Structures are given as C-alpha cells and as structure tokens.
C-alpha cells in the first residue's frame, strides 16, 4: 500500500474509533461538546461533559492489531502532559477555567472480522 493509501486507512480507522467512543459516551449520558479540537500545540479527539458536571478530555487510540503494542502504550508522560495543557487551553477558550475536568484515554481494538472492543481509562493524570 502506498504511503497516501496507508494515511487514508489510518485516518479512517481513527475516525471509526472516535465515533465508537462518542457513541459509548452518549450511551453513558455524556454530552459531546467538541470533536477534533485543534490548536497549534495539538488536538483533543473528544471533549464531553458528564452528567455529574465533569469535563472529559479524551484521547482515542484505535488499532487493528497489537503488532505495535497495546493502544494505551502510545500514551507516555509527555503525551499525557500535552493533553493536560490542551485541556486547560480548551477550558480557558470556553470560559471554564476552574471547572472540574479529567483526562481520559480510550483504546479501540478492531478484529479482522470487523468486531471491535472498547477499553476506557479515566483520569490518567
């Protein structure tokens, strides 16, 4: 597969994982406030507001195999701190500084038959 084809496949896989996660969040009663919010420093995949008033900033890692490790392994200390800076930037931009928030990570694994699993880790910081 060409590099362009691989990039499009990865984007499609990532978008699938983000949609699965958004559906999961809605089912548990969260309101989706933002998707793929970007600033110069990076991007937040999903921002939700839980029924208990906590903002959740969610990084979604989607994989079709474990060949490169579990999706959670992609979140190192630097990435977690970048997510925190992005969350604070989102809160400041939306006039919500001082509100309670959490940085969460979701791993989506897609099997060869198209079935998928979702693993959610809340409050990684």
pLDDT in tens, 15-62: 999 999 999 999 999 999 999 999 999 999 999 999 999 999 999 999
Cβ of 82: how many Cβ atoms within 10 Å? 15
Quote the pLDDT of residue 123: 75
Give the pLDDT of residue 7. Answer: 61
The answer to whether residue 1 scores a pLDDT higher than 90 is no
Note the pLDDT of residue 3.
59
Phi/psi at 34 (5° precision): -155, 150
118, 24 Cβ separation under 8 angstroms = yes
Task: Confirm if 108 and 118 have CB atoms less than 8 A apart.
Answer: yes
Domain boundaries, the chain: 3-121
Average pLDDT over residues 7-17: 77
Overall average pLDDT of the 99-115 stretch: 93
Q: Which fold has domain 3-121?
A: Trna Endonuclease; Chain: A, domain 1 (3.40.1350)
Q: So what's the pLDDT on residue 67? A: 82
| Residue corresponding to tokens 């978008």 | 15
């Amino acid at each position: 597969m060409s590099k362009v084809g691989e990039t499009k496949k990865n984007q499609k896989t990532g978008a699938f994982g983000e949609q699965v996660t958004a559906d999961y969040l809605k089912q548990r009663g969260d309101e989706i406030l933002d998707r793929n919010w970007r600033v110069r420093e990076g991007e937040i995949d999903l921002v939700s507001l839980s029924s208990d008033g906590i903002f959740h900033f969610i990084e979604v890692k989607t994989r079709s195999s474990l060949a490169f490790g579990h999706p959670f392994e992609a979140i190192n200390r630097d990435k977690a701190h970048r997510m925190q800076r992005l969350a604070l930037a989102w809160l400041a931009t939306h006039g919500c500084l001082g509100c309670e928030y959490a940085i969460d990570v979701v791993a989506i694994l897609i099997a060869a038959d198209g079935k998928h699993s979702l693993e959610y880790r809340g409050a990684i910081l």
